[in-house]
Amino acid sequence: QVQLVESGGGLVQAGGSLRVSCAVSGRPFSTYIMGWLRQAPGKEREFVAGMNWSGGSTYYADSVKGRFAISRDNAKNMVYLQMNTLKPEDTAVYYCAARRGGYSRDSLMYDYWGQGTQVTVSS
Say how far apart CA 20 and CA 24 lie, in whole Å: 13
Q: Phi-psi region for residue 85, left (φ > 0), alpha (ψ -120 to 50) or beta?
A: left
C-beta pairs of 51-57 under 8 Å, 24+ apart in sequence: 51/79, 52/103, 53/28, 53/29, 53/98, 54/30, 57/103
Quick one: pLDDT band at residue 28, thresholds 50, 70, 90? low
pLDDT score recorded for residue 7 = 96
Closest of 6, 1, 14 to residue 36, by C-alpha? 6
Q: What is the pLDDT of residues 59-93, one digit of tens each?
A: 999 999 999 999 999 889 999 999 999 999 999 99
